[in-house]
Amino acid sequence: MSNLQIIKHTTDTWLNKEEIEFVKKQFFPQTANELDIAYCLEIAKQFNLNPITKQIFFVPRRAKSDNGVWVEKVEPLVGRDGFLAIAHKSGEFGGIQTKAFIKEVPKLINNKWKMESDLVAVCEVFKKGCEKPFTAEVSYGEYVQFTNQGKPTQFWQSKPETMIKKVAESQALRKAFNISGLMALEEVGIGTQNANGEIVIDTQTIEASVDIQAENAKLIKQEQVALEALGLKYEYKDGWIKVVGSTYGLSDTLIGLNYSFYKDKAIWAKKLTA
C-alpha cells in the first residue's frame, strides 16, 4: 500500500485551481516531470500544507531507485515548521520540548563497536489524550553532512545544535501525528529553513552528492561483467539491458540476476532506469 493510500490527513480546503497552476509554474524546478508534480501536490493536499506560504517545498534530490539506478527526482520536503503546522491543525498538539547535550553513543569503528562522545538531541512532543510524550533521540554523527573534503558543511559546522534539534523535532512530530510520506530538509541533507521561513539549499552537500552518470555507468559495467562471465554480451538502449547470445540452460541464472524473458520479442532484458 502506498503512502498516498494510508495518509489520513484529508481536508476540504486547500488551494483553488488558479493557485495550483501558479504553484506548478513557480514552485517546481525545471527537472520536475508530471508524475513528480502530481505526487508532490497530492502530498501537500493530504496534509493541507501550502507551498505559497512556505509550509512545504518541492526539491530536486538524487536518490537510488528500487532497481539500483540513481535518479534525480523532485520530492516534497518540509522544514520543522511544516510538521508543527500539521500538529497545530490537528487540535491535539500539547507542546514540544527539545534538549541537546553531549552523550556517549555506540559507533562502529574499524568493524568494532565503541562508545564515543557525540552531540545528541532529544525531543518530546506532547499530544492531548496521551499519558506519555512521543520521543525521538538523534545524534550529530548520524545526520551531519560533509563537503567533498570530508568536513562538515556550513550549516552543520556553524549551527550544529540547531540542525540536530530540528532533526529530532521532525522525527518526534512525525511519530506523534502519524505523518507518512514527508521528510525534513535537515534529515535528507538538502538544506534548512531560516528564520524567514525560506528554504536555504546547502550547496556544499549538493556538490558532494553522488554523481548520477558515473554511478549508473558503474551499474552498467557490473551487468557487462556478469553477462560476460556467462559467455554473453549485451546491448544497452533507452535504459534497457538486452542479453545477446545463446541463453540455453541459463534461464535460472538470468532470473537470479533479475532479467525477464519477453516472449513477444524472444529476448532476456532488464530495465535499468527508474
Most confidently predicted of 12-26, 47-61, 125-139: 125-139
In whole angstroms, give the CA distance from residue 200 to residue 192: 5
Mean pLDDT (the chain) is 84
Q: Is the pLDDT of residue 35 over 80?
A: yes
DSSP string, 175-196: HHTT--S-EEHHHHTSEEE-TT
Look at phi and psi of residue 68 and say left if phi exceeds 0, alpha if psi is from -120 to 50, else beta: left
Give the number of other CB atoms < 10 A from CB of residue 83.
27
Q: Is the pLDDT of residue 272 over 80?
A: no
Cβ distance 204 to 158 under 8 Å? no
Sequence-distant (6+) residues with CB within 8 A of 219 are 68, 69, 272
Angle between helices 80-90 and 160-176 (to 10 degrees): 30
**Nearest alpha carbon to residue 68 among 223, 253, 242, 179:** 223
Q: Which of 14-18, 37-41, 214-218 has the lowest mean pLDDT?
A: 214-218
| Exposure b/e, 179-206, CB count within 10 A at least 16 = b | bbbbbbbbbbbbbbbeeeeebeebebbb
Which residue type, as a one-letter code, is found at position 100?
A: A
Contact 94, 88 (CB under 8 A): no
> For position 155, what pLDDT does the model report?
85
- Is 203's pLDDT higher than 70? no
**Which residue is associated with the grid cell 546491448?**
235
Q: Is the pLDDT of residue 179 over 70?
A: yes
SS (H, E, C) 210-259: CCHHHHHHHHHHHHHHHHHHCCCEEEEECCEEEEECCCCCCHHHHHHCCC
Question: Is the separation of the CB atoms in 20 and 41 below 8 Å?
Answer: yes
**Sorting pLDDT into bands at 50, 70 and 90, what band is 205?**
low
Instruction: State mean pLDDT over 225-239.
Output: 87
The answer to whether the CB of 154 falls within 8 A of the CB of 147 is no
Task: Please state the domain extents for the chain.
Answer: 61-208, 213-271
**Nearest CA-CA partner of 77 in 110, 39, 117:** 39
Number of helices (H) and strands (E), helices first, in the chain?
Answer: 11, 12
pLDDT of residue 4: 38
Displacement of CA 175 from its chain's centroid (Å): 17
Cα 253 to the chain's mean position, in Å? Answer: 33
Confidence of residue 68 (pLDDT cuts 50, 70, 90): low
- With 90 as the cut, is the pLDDT of residue 124 above it? yes
pLDDT exceeds cutoff 90 at 94:
yes
The yes-or-no verdict on residue 28 having pLDDT over 80 is yes
Mean pLDDT within 119-144: 96
Lowest-confidence pick of 48-52, 126-130, 176-180, 204-208: 204-208
Q: How far apart are CA 86 and CA 94, in angstroms?
A: 13
Cβ atoms of 148 and 207 closer than 8 Å: yes
DSSP three-state, residue 261: strand
Q: Which residue has the higher pLDDT, 19 or 188?
A: 19
pLDDT mean over 93-105 = 97
The per-residue pLDDT for 192 is: 77
Q: 69-85: per-residue pLDDT in tens?
A: 666 788 899 888 889 98
Report, as an integer, the average pLDDT of 21-36: 90
Grid cell at residue 274: 527508474
